């Protein structure tokens, strides 16, 4: 199964990349093929610009050629063309980007599942996201 990993980035320390990387790794241990937008950003721009951002501020990415429109367009295209499901990280409801990705998934009839880290554990637990959740202001 091909899953797209969505979640909050802007406004989070290090653009929430540590959570994206941990979740992507765990999903792969479950036998899933994962499209992880954080990994795509790292492959294109390196890890340092994102890691060094204290507050996930887009201004911290000035000068590295990061283009939010192109990136979101690429990510949405992946959901449309390849994803069998979308997996969301905790806090996705407050992310404009993640809410857009979930809306696309739902428009396509793809399942959406939320994963959350288990306290002091390298494991996650998963649950289905009800259709009426998520509106996203952030």
Q: What is the pLDDT of residues 83-123, one digit of tens each?
A: 999 999 999 999 999 999 999 999 999 999 998 765 455 55
Q: Three-state SS for 109?
A: coil
Model-level pTM?
0.86
Q: Is the pLDDT of residue 81 over 80?
A: yes
Average pLDDT for residues 72-88, to the nearest whole number?
Answer: 97
Name the E strands within the chain.
2-6, 33-35, 85-89, 112-117, 124-128
User: Has domain 2-128 been given CATH number 3.40.50.450?
Assistant: yes
Cα Rg for the chain, rounded, in angstroms? 14
Q: Is the pLDDT of residue 138 over 90?
A: no
């Amino acid at each position: 199964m091909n899953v797209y990993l969505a979640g909050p980035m802007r406004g989070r320390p290090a653009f929430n990349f540590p959570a994206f990387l941990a979740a992507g790794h765990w999903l792969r241990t479950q036998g899933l093929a994962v499209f992880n937008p954080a990994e795509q950003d790292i492959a294109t721009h390196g890890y340092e610009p994102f890691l060094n951002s204290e507050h996930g501020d887009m201004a911290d990415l000035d000068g590295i050629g990061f283009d939010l429109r192109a990136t979101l367009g690429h990510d949405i295209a992946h959901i449309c063309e390849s994803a069998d499901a979308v997996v969301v990280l905790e806090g996705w409801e407050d992310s404009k980007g993640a809410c857009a990705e979930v809306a696309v998934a739902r428009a396509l009839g793809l399942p959406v599942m939320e994963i959350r880290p288990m306290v002091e554990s390298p494991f996650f637990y998963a649950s289905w996201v009800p259709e009426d959740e998520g509106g996203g202001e952030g």
